[in-house]
Amino acid sequence: MADLSGARALPTIVPSPARLLPLAARYSLRGQPPVLAAAVQALGLSYTDKAACSASHEGRAALWMGPDEQLLLAPAAAATEIEELLGTALSGMAYSLVDISHRQVALEISGPQAEALLCVGCPLDLDIEAFPVGMATRTVLGKASIVLWRIGPQVFHVEVWRSFTDYLTRFLAEAARELGG
């Protein structure tokens, strides 16, 4: 995993409703369903091939990104263990596993206005009935490509490329002002 000890904090010029989450181990896993199932189960999670679903437990998560792709997340300190578990579970199988820990950061957007705030720049219907807890998908927020994962009724996890963090936090701060928050 890349050394992120020099990672920049969120800018403080504009207050933002987003909270930067701790560093994490992130992997893009591509493969056929048996590969995905073996990897997710090796992390102690339940595998599903249902579109836009996720599984999470004790800081580990697997987010469905497509029929042949999972985004795997874990605490940064568990990176070596995760890589060993996946190496063992996927031995002899055809797959692609790419460490993308250095590329992305995670933000949490929570509270009673979280859904409304995200709707300012996201084209998805984020009503709890349309986008329930556990749902995860690629989308856009403003002009940034993101992975959006609903982890609670009023809590969203946003994965964004590190280079868009400043833009996105400023976008969210402006959206919050527009909403009166």
**pLDDT tens digits for range 13-31:** 344 688 999 999 999 999 9
Say if residue 6's pLDDT is above 60.
no
CATH number at residue 93: 3.30.1360.120
In a domain, 5, yes or no: no
| Contact present, 156 and 108 (Cβ < 8 Å) | yes
Average pLDDT over residues 105-125: 96
In a domain, 143, yes or no: yes
Say if residue 12's pLDDT is above 90.
no
What pTM was computed for the model?
A: 0.90
Binned at pLDDT 50, 70 and 90, residue 146 comes out as: very high
Average pLDDT over residues 68-94: 98
In a domain, 12, yes or no: no
pLDDT confidence of residue 1 = 42
Q: Please tell me what DSSP assigns to residue 78.
A: G
Closest CA to 36 of 27, 99, 161: 27
What is the domain range of residue 150? 18-178
| Contact present, 70 and 29 (Cβ < 8 Å) | yes
Average pLDDT over residues 62-83: 97
Residue 36 exposure: Cα atoms within 13 Å on the Cβ side: 25
pLDDT confidence of residue 17 = 80
Q: Please tell me what DSSP assigns to residue 132.
A: -
Q: How far apart are CA 72 and CA 79, in angstroms?
A: 11
pLDDT confidence of residue 16 = 66
In a domain, 4, yes or no: no
In a domain, 119, yes or no: yes
In a domain, 10, yes or no: no
Q: Which helix (H) or strand (E) holds 170?
A: helix 165-178
The number of folded domains in the chain is 1
Return the higher-pLDDT residue of 10 and 66.
Answer: 66
Tokens describing residue 173? 């701060």
Q: Which residues contact 165 (CB under 8 A, 6 or more apart)?
A: 8, 10, 20, 105, 107
| Contact present, 110 and 154 (Cβ < 8 Å) | yes
In a domain, 43, yes or no: yes
Binned at pLDDT 50, 70 and 90, residue 11 comes out as: very low
